[in-house]
Chains A and B, each alone.
Chain A
Amino acid sequence: MNFEKLLHIDRKVIFVLMGVAIVIPLVFPFRLPVGEQPPTRGLFDTIDRIDPAKQALMVSTDWTPQTEAENQPMTVALIRHGLARKLRVVVISFYNESIPMANQAVMQVVEEYNSQAKNEAEKVVYGRDVVLLGWVPPPIVPILGMGQSITGVYKVDYYGAGTDTLPIMKGLGSYDDIGLVCAVSGGSSPQWFLQFAQPRYGVKIAAAVTAVSAPDLYAYIESGQLSGMLGGMKGAAEYENLIEEKYHVGGRQRAMEGMGPQSIGHLLIMALVIMGNVGYFVARRKAS
């Protein structure tokens, strides 16, 4: 066999192979065991330890449609977890581009809960249990301002209702009333919270970031500044699995669905790299 041919696979062939590797697991889905990494467990346990009577969960949705595949399941899973624990869930955003998608995530989870509710008490009410506060630029304004007054920064919610009139905001004055801020991000918003909000107001911070951003944040987990982290779609899938196991919350698990295509995609890339290296070594031996 002429192994040197492995050095010259046409890129159109690679594109077709990658397309097939992604599409087939999407059309014929299969479930894989996802396990859990320590940062994922850290985030889950931190939210589980928040006292619903005293503090709320804040989810900062700082991502754009580019990273929807990774960040959207994280956002949905975090809201699900907060509501499963009967925590008040406050959603904000530092990018105006992410606001409609954050709204979509909030409404999806509200509908999920309400479609499964057996009585009125189990229903989730927007404005009482969960709220989308919207977008106030630039990020430094809400990050520091919420240390003094959340309603002072966000005077109206996404739908234009005065935050002073919303039942969810009663008793939610500042970061003191927030058990955890989880920044769902495709960029560096977790670092902004770590840089400005945590040293000054002592608020707990966690991150849910894309796989490429995750390596930047391990240093903050090791130092204890981040209470937990979801890294990429795998982190989101682990989190969906943890919520499902403990709270049996229904609803679509998009990150779990993505594990099949991502697994096969990674295997294909590894196989291509191995083939390229086999061709390279055979060619080098022949040349010498």
Chain B
Amino acid sequence: MRVKLPLGLMIFFGILGFTDSFVPHPWAQNFHGVLRNKVLIVISVFALALGIGNLISHHVTRIKRKGPNWIHSYTTLISLGIATLIGIMGGVTGNGWLPTRVGGFKYDIQTIYFKVLVPLQSTMFALLAFFMASAAYRSFRARNLLAGLLLGSAFVVMLGQVPIGELLTGFLPPGFHAADISTWIMQVPNTASKRAIELGLTLGVLGTMLKILTGIERSWLGGGR
């Protein structure tokens, strides 16, 4: 039962999931509409609960076992608890019953978002510029022909991505400016390789999907037992 029931449900809903693309009858369309607009949203809510549960479970276990950097797990759990409390009881903009202002100091969820989350996430991403500069300096070496081609392409694309590239290569005939060559690299070699990768990936996904739908691939049920 532990195998057959989920397998049966998966095959039933899996086939229903794409029938509306092939069956234009209103019954099929309406049924798919209900599945998508009602059932899927309910399942998403369960996924959210599962995600939060997993997060809490993971960090509680790490604290119990004193795993690597376990002290940081407290930060995650305390932040999660405080943000959830303020969000649910204080309202998004501080219009709930929980006070979210002390004098001029606001701590409603909207303020936390703009004053804490946005700067933190932006800073983390901005740090990439520094690490990329260091990594590029250390690893970009023209050791052989292929590495040289990669380096040359990277240079042209980098120049093409900034206006100063146009100033530096503006004296060249049209079609040979950094932006022109960069666009050509993107449109021709890049597109050719991306298409090959995408086609391979899609065929792989289709194959795996068929294996799952027909019950051949059962590892998602728990290690194929």
Contact = CB atoms under 8 A, between A and B. Distances in A.
Given A32-B163, A211-B161, 14 more contacts: A33-B167, A34-B166, A65-B122, A68-B122, A69-B125, A137-B41, A144-B36, A216-B194, A219-B194, A222-B191, A269-B132, A270-B155, A277-B141, A280-B141
Nearest to A19: B130
B167 A22 contact: no
B136 interface: yes
A4 to B, nearest CB: 14
Interface stretch (A8-16, A51-59, A115-123, A244-252): A8-16
Nearest to B182: A37
Nearest to B192: A219
Interface of B: 21, 33, 36-37, 40-41, 44, 110, 113-114, 117-118, 121-122, 124-126, 129-130, 132-134, 136-138, 140-143, 151, 155, 158-159, 161-167, 179, 183, 186-187, 190-191, 194-195, 198
Given A140-B36, A266-B158, A277-B142, A218 B137 contact: no
Nearest to A216: B194
A276 B141 contact: yes
A281 B118 CA distance: 44
B194 A218 contact: yes
26 contacts: A14-B137, A15-B133, A33-B163, A33-B166, A69-B125, A69-B126, A141-B37, A144-B36, A148-B33, A214-B186, A215-B186, A218-B191, A219-B194, A231-B161, A263-B162, A263-B164, A263-B165, A265-B129, A265-B133, A266-B165, A269-B133, A269-B137, A273-B155, A275-B137, A276-B138, A280-B142
A132 interface: no
Nearest to A103: B110
A269 B158 contact: yes
Interface in A8-41: 9, 11, 14-15, 17-19, 22, 32-35, 37-38
A262 B164 CA distance: 9
A259 B40 contact: no
Contacts of A42: none
A266 B140 contact: no
A165 interface: no
A273 B186 CA distance: 22
Contact of A14 (B44, B114, B134, B141): B134
A218 B186 contact: yes
Given A14-B133, A32-B163, A32-B164, A66 B121 contact: yes
A207 to B, nearest CB: 14
B129 A267 contact: no
Contacts of A65: 117-118, 121-122
B224 to A, nearest CB: 28
Contact of A276 (B37, B137, B186): B137
A222 B187 contact: yes
Interface in A102-153: 136-138, 140-141, 144-145, 148, 152-153
Contacts of A84: none
A218 B187 CA distance: 6
A272 interface: yes
Nearest to A265: B129
A121 B186 CA distance: 44
Contacts of A218: 186-187, 190-191, 194
Contact of B133 (A68, A211, A268, A277): A268
Nearest to B137: A272
A100 B114 contact: yes
Contacts of B190: 215, 218
B21 A266 contact: no
A45 B160 CA distance: 22
B133 A38 contact: no
B183 A37 contact: yes
A9 B163 contact: no
Contacts of A222: 187, 191
Contacts of A37: 179, 183
A132 to B, nearest CB: 14
A199 B169 CA distance: 41
Closest 8 A/B residue pairs (Cβ)? A263-B164, A32-B163, A65-B121, A272-B137, A263-B162, A65-B118, A66-B125, A11-B134
Contacts of A153: 37
A182 interface: no
